Amino acid sequence: QVQVVESGGGLVQAGGSLRLACAASGSIFSIGTMAWHRQAPGKQRELVAFVNSGGITNYADFVKGRFTISRLYAGNTVALQMNSLKPEDTAVYYCSANVNGNDYWGQGTQVTVSS
């Protein structure tokens, strides 16, 4: 059994910052890429950023220079530091983790940026 749990969402004014965290736990033998995705109302889910097991990161163009993804502790936790937030960043943010060769998803955390 593997669980992926996000935390850290909330309401912030435009230009502000939020830090999201995601932890994978349970029967973990190997953990690979961890990623953040988001889904705004009426839109498809989109990839925001990912970090692989070697620490290589990649970002969607719309967050480059504003968001930073990092892995923490034993590699089972990933954080997303979000700076210079814009109203269009408003979405439910989901974390995914490739654990034991399978992808697991969290329930999501709401991020709302007011103008």
What gap in Å lies between CA 61 and CA 43, rounded to an integer? 17
Contact 105, 6 (CB under 8 A): no
Block means of pLDDT (10 residues each) for the chain, length 115 residues? 96 98 95 97 97 94 97 88 98 97 97 97
Residue 114, helix vs strand vs coil: strand
